[in-house]
Amino acid sequence: MQKVLDYIAANWGNTTRFNPVSEGTLIGLPHPYTVPCADGAFQEFYYWDTYFTSRGLALQGHPELVRDNCENLIYEADELGFIPNGNRTYYLDRSQPPVFGAMLELTGSVYPEDRAWLRRAARALELELHFWKYRRRDRCGLTHYGTDATEEQLMAFYPCCVARLGYPAEATEEEMRAAAREAMAEAESGWDFNPRFERRCPDFAAIDLNSLLVRSRNELGELYRDLGDLERSDEWKHSAEIRKELIHCYCWNDRRGVFLDYNFVTKRHSNVFSCASLFPLWCGIATPEQAESTLYAVEHELECEHGLAACEKNDSGRVYQWDYPNGWAPLHFVAVEGLDRYGFTDAARRIARKYVDTVVRNFERTGALWEKYNVVTGSVDVKDEYKMPQMLGWTAGAFVYAADYLNGH
């Protein structure tokens, strides 16, 4: 374990960038920022990756880079009215899972008692929540993933659908646009690509997304409380409770005993149980009974010898990288912290241990950390849509967190 921790500590600088001026498709940011990989793929500032990376940075003594990352997210919200998938112009049609509230909570714990920062943070988080409320609202009062892509952008994205999802190269323009619209919405989910949404992502009130929006509303309520604006604090806390009730109404599945994505068009739940169902625990919106039921399902459907599979075994018949038997860093992080929140410390420690051991074993074999792992074999022989890159980023962040958790901190 220590060799991996030392490797991570020695390499944060290799994944730090500073590009204050926009150039080509790259959007300049005013502060240094972290990227997932030291070289090759993923040289951008990705939204939800940044939170999990920053958890590792905070634990390894880099509060200044945590704040720089957060300041860049605030800058994007202020300048663009939302936080894009990444700092490229071709990402401006979509966002990613809204972990901004959690990022503000983390940064506030590193830099407490900064009222000027609190005011800026609250304004930026309101802009973030405005985006999801008015551009992604669904028919049942919850929120779905989507895209604001133009017809030209949809057509430009279609080759990705062919390369990664197996769509036919020959299709009508209408078919191409429809396929690209669904795939770009799924890219906004951060789970690009997966079987959860049955290739109908914009039709689903996603359980992870809506749980995160409850957490963000509660965090905004806390920010206003700290600023002494109790009226606005109460308003946002009340808004969080309303959304929580809607999630319980539409996303809880009594038969399976878990929260599931809800198709508000067909009025039924997704057929696929996944680690997304752990987000209600991480965000604190599950009842104790629901949390216990979720743990039972996780242990029987998602937990494997070497960690958690993103999704249960299913018969989609397609190759998705966010699917069984692949295990991903942020999902292990959410599982461990979410289960611990509800007092399931034995399960949390067991899952943390599996993730740490898998990362260590493959580091010893390859000398690197990886984007994802096969949690059935414990190897890097994964289901892939592209050549898997070596990765620091959230793999490092989740590893540092899990190691710290196992050490009892």
Catalytic residues: 192, 371
Cβ-Cβ contacts under 8 Å for 1 (sequence gap 6 or more): 356, 360, 403
Using the structure block, give the residue that is written with the tokens 């690009």: 192
Q: Say how far apart CA 144 and CA 206 lie, in whole Å.
A: 6
Q: Which residues sit opposite 101 in a β-bridge? A: none
CB atoms within 10 A of CB 152: 9
Pick from 84, 78, 14: nearest CA to 45? 84
Q: Say how far apart CA 102 and CA 117 lie, in whole Å.
A: 15
Residue 75 in contact with residue 84, Cβ under 8 Å? Answer: no
Q: Say how far apart CA 13 and CA 253 lie, in whole Å.
A: 45
Let me know how long the chain is. 409
CA angle 206, 208, 209 (to 5 degrees): 65
First vs last C-alpha separation in the chain: 16
Residue type, 114: D
Q: Say how far apart CA 186 and CA 9 lie, in whole Å.
A: 33
What are the structure tokens assigned to 91, written together?
């990402």
Angle between the 393-406 and 47-59 helix axes, to the nearest 10 degrees? Answer: 40
Element (DSSP H or E) covering residue 307? strand 307-308
Pick from 37, 57, 105: nearest CA to 401? 57
Residue 38 in contact with residue 7, Cβ under 8 Å? Answer: no
Using the structure block, give the residue that is written with the tokens 């096969």: 374
CA-to-CA dists, residue 356 to 172, 198, 214, 361, angstroms? 47, 32, 30, 9
Residue type, 4: V
Residue 399 in contact with residue 355, Cβ under 8 Å? Answer: yes
